[in-house]
Amino acid sequence: MLAISLCRSSRSSISKVARGCGLPEVACSALNDTEGDIQGDMANPEFNLDFAPHHGQPVPVAHGVQRITVNNPSPFTFHGTNSYIVGDRSVAVIDPGPEDEAHLAALLAALSGREVTHILVSHTHRDHSPLARRLQEATGARIVAEGPHRAARPLHEGETNPFSESADMAFRPDIVLGDGETIAGDGWRLTGVHTPGHAANHMAFALEDSGILFSADHVMAWATSIVAPPDGSMADYMASLDKLIARRDRLLFPGHGGPVRKPLSFMRALKTHRRMRERAVLGRIKAGDRSIPEMVKVIYRETDPRLHGAAALSVFAHIEDLIERGEIETDGPPALLGSYRPAGRG
């Protein structure tokens, strides 16, 4: 289990978590379950850990859709990254995955005899995008994404990005797909749905006329997705969640784990879960806690301390959002090791 220590030497530990790339904030939903105990069962979405990855094997999951899961399991990628093949004779590949020889071979075997016209990438974490280049070399397909990797906000003075090692900084798409723009193939159309939060360039893809959305790492059945500054933004994440709730898709295929079969109720529960966590953070600050470690110690008191670093990243994202909304304040830019107080008590 990877962990983070919130001390002045914590950057290397944070980077270890970041290299997990999928970056859900809990292994097997441990933090989610604990928050349910603290804040009430209504805060918990019904997470589903029932998933058979069938690594390297194409698994039909819907009409004209196959899933192949990379054999890269970890506490932060669950059983591995899901790649999807959309179409019949002429196809698109969504999220080819990390640099992995066995997965490349599995994809090429599944694609044998079929034309690959497009490779769509949801975001530029290293468990989703790097294999796009080699798959392109093998197939001639064009790479499609929202854009290159970028952080959600500029770095503050003296700040380093603990997630830099998890980012595919070399990634460049052939086609920049804007929100609401569509890529079409033989018998399929995929529309980009920009969903920043987990990553600034995160994009889901809607399979038109099917009610299916490839939600990547924004919404997953097995755990919440980490939202950690500066790469992530809690305000963006919540706005994107509202955007997906308004769509009313019937089925979500995520970047890790199995499908979300009741998206509307699940995402509403995710929203409640996040808002209750936000209130818990604000409550701890009003109670006198000033540092993130103090807050984590109480909010996650039943959680394995080895997971407290991951929890701290989530708390930090909520703190940035609360500062932007004027509910709390700090001296200078917000930081993991900063001191926080209710607004108006400076």
Q: Quick check: 67 pLDDT over 70?
A: yes
Q: Are 56 and 225 in contact (CB under 8 A)?
A: no
Average of pLDDT values for 99-126?
98
Work out the pLDDT band at 339, boundaries 50, 70, 90: very high
Shared-domain flag, residues 337 and 242: no
CA 216/CA 218 separation, integer angstroms: 6
Q: What does the pLDDT read at residue 35?
A: 41
Shared-domain flag, residues 192 and 246: yes
Shared-domain flag, residues 260 and 146: yes
Calculate the average pLDDT of the chain. 88
Shared-domain flag, residues 158 and 80: yes
Q: Are 295 and 336 in contact (CB under 8 A)?
A: no
Work out the pLDDT band at 346, boundaries 50, 70, 90: low
Tell me, yes or no, whether 200 lies in a domain: yes
Q: Quick check: 11 pLDDT over 70?
A: no
Tell me, yes or no, whether 53 lies in a domain: no
Work out the pLDDT band at 24, boundaries 50, 70, 90: very low
Q: Are 335 and 320 in contact (CB under 8 A)?
A: no
Tell me, yes or no, whether 51 lies in a domain: no
- Looking at the whole model, is its pTM more than 0.85? yes
Q: What is the DSSP string of 42-91?
A: GG-----------TTS-EEEETTEEEEE-S--BTTTBT-BEEEEEESSEE
Shared-domain flag, residues 278 and 306: yes
Shared-domain flag, residues 84 and 227: yes
End of a domain among 219, 247, 270? 270
Tell me, yes or no, whether 158 lies in a domain: yes
Shared-domain flag, residues 92 and 225: yes
Tell me, yes or no, whether 52 lies in a domain: no
Shared-domain flag, residues 313 and 226: no
CA 33/CA 133 separation, integer angstroms: 39
Tell me, yes or no, whether 54 lies in a domain: no
CA 234/CA 275 separation, integer angstroms: 11
Work out the pLDDT band at 23, boundaries 50, 70, 90: very low
End of a domain among 229, 249, 270? 270
Work out the pLDDT band at 168, boundaries 50, 70, 90: very high
Task: State both tokens at 283.
Answer: 């409550």
Q: Quick check: 10 pLDDT over 90?
A: no
Shared-domain flag, residues 321 and 243: no
CA 223/CA 257 separation, integer angstroms: 9
Percent of the chain predicted with pLDDT > 70: 87
Tell me, yes or no, whether 155 lies in a domain: yes
Work out the pLDDT band at 9, boundaries 50, 70, 90: very low
Task: State both tokens at 43.
Answer: 């805060």
pLDDT tens, residue by residue, 30-65: 444 444 333 333 357 999 999 999 999 999 999 999
The least confident of 166-170, 301-305, 312-316 is 301-305
Domain count within the chain? 2
Tell me, yes or no, whether 49 lies in a domain: no
CATH number at residue 338: 1.10.10.10
End of a domain among 270, 304, 334? 270
Bond before 229 cis per omega within 30 degrees: no
Work out the pLDDT band at 159, boundaries 50, 70, 90: confident
CATH number at residue 132: 3.60.15.10
Shared-domain flag, residues 30 and 63: no
Q: What does the pLDDT read at residue 48?
A: 95
Q: What does the pLDDT read at residue 162?
A: 76
Burial pattern 126-154, b for ≥16 Cβ within 10 A else e, equals: bbbbbbbbbbbeebebbbbbbbebbbbee
Shared-domain flag, residues 200 and 253: yes
Shared-domain flag, residues 16 and 92: no
Query: How many other CB atoms are there within 10 angstroms of residue 211's CB atom?
Result: 15
Q: Which domain holds residue 321?
A: 11-44+271-342
The least confident of 30-44, 78-92, 268-282 is 30-44
Supply the Cα-derived Rg of the chain in whole angstroms.
Answer: 20
pLDDT tens, residue by residue, 115-135: 999 999 999 999 999 999 999
